Structure 1
């Protein structure tokens, strides 16, 4: 089994200097998400299609 580690970790520019947020990294098939408070705790991955659906839901305020 090949393990692909996420690349290009970044957090939202809206986070500013706050350290209690999440970061997103690219994977070959989608995205990985981790908590900035404890980066060593690992991350979860999602497919590109799932990530796009999540971003769409956030932009359309479906979680409000």
Structure 2
């Protein structure tokens, strides 16, 4: 997997600078609406958020 550069990403109205967006490596395995499609990660907070196949996004409180 190629290295990615961090970006400034807005999740649920909160801005997270230096955030990495990591998509599921095997999207064909994301079948159920509760399955995680995308993970958001920052050096400051670690796991910062995730999005499910249904489009629901969870974000940490900061």
- Indicate the TM-score class for this superposition, using the shorter chain for normalisation: 0.3 to 0.5
Larger radius of gyration: 1
Q: Which has the higher strand share?
A: 2
Q: Which has the higher helix share?
A: 1
TM-score (norm 1): 0.38
